Amino acid sequence: MARLYASTGDGIARLEESNGAWKVALSLHGSGAQCLAVDPRDADVVYAGLREAGLRRTSDGGHSWVDCELPAPGVFSVAVSGVDGAVYAGIEPSALFRSDDGGETWRELTALLELPSRPTWSFPPRPWTSHVRWIAPNPHDADLLLVGIELGGLMRSIDGGVSWQDHRPGAQRDVHSIAWHPQAEGRAYEAGGGGAAWSKDGGETWQPADAGRDRNYTWAVAVEPDDANGWYVSASTGPFAAHGGADPEARIYAWRDGEWRPLAGGLPEPLPAMPYALVATHGRLFAGLADGQLWESSDRGESWHSCALEGDALMRLNALAHAAA
Q: Say yes or no to pLDDT of 90 above 90.
A: yes
Q: Say yes or no to pLDDT of 56 above 70.
A: yes
Percent of the chain with pLDDT over 70: 100
Tell whether the torsion through CA atoms of 67, 68, 70 and 73 is positive or negative: negative
Tell whether the torsion through CA atoms of 134, 136, 137 and 143 is positive or negative: negative
Q: Say yes or no to pLDDT of 57 above 90.
A: yes
Distance CA 192, CA 219 (A): 6
Q: Say yes or no to pLDDT of 73 above 70.
A: yes
CA 142 to chain CA centroid, nearest Å: 19
Condensed to tens digits (0 to 9), the pLDDT of residues 3-21 reads 999 999 999 999 999 988 9
- Mean pLDDT computed over 49-69: 97
How far are the Cα atoms of 15, 48, 258, 279 from residue 294, in angstroms, in the given order? 10, 20, 28, 11
Predicted pLDDT at 287: 97
Q: Say yes or no to pLDDT of 235 above 80.
A: yes
pTM above 0.75, yes or no: yes
Confidence of residue 107 (pLDDT cuts 50, 70, 90): very high
Condensed to tens digits (0 to 9), the pLDDT of residues 303-325 reads 999 999 999 999 999 999 999 76
Q: Give the neighbor-by-neighbor strand order of the sheet with 21-27.
A: 309-311, 21-27, 12-18, 3-7, 319-322
Q: Say yes or no to pLDDT of 245 above 90.
A: no
Confidence of residue 281 (pLDDT cuts 50, 70, 90): very high
- Mean pLDDT computed over 197-226: 97
Name the helix (H) or strand (E) containing 77. Answer: strand 75-80
> Domains in the chain, ordered, with CATH?
3-322 (2.130.10.10)
Predicted pLDDT at 1: 74
Predicted pLDDT at 325: 60
How far are the Cα atoms of 49, 120, 240 from residue 124, in angstroms, in the given order? 22, 12, 12
**Count of CB atoms situated within 10 Å of the CB of 110:** 11
Tell whether the torsion through CA atoms of 41, 45, 51 and 53 is positive or negative: negative
Distance CA 265, CA 34 (A): 30
Phi, psi of 147 (to 5 degrees): -135, 135
In contact, 68 and 47? CB cutoff 8 Å: yes
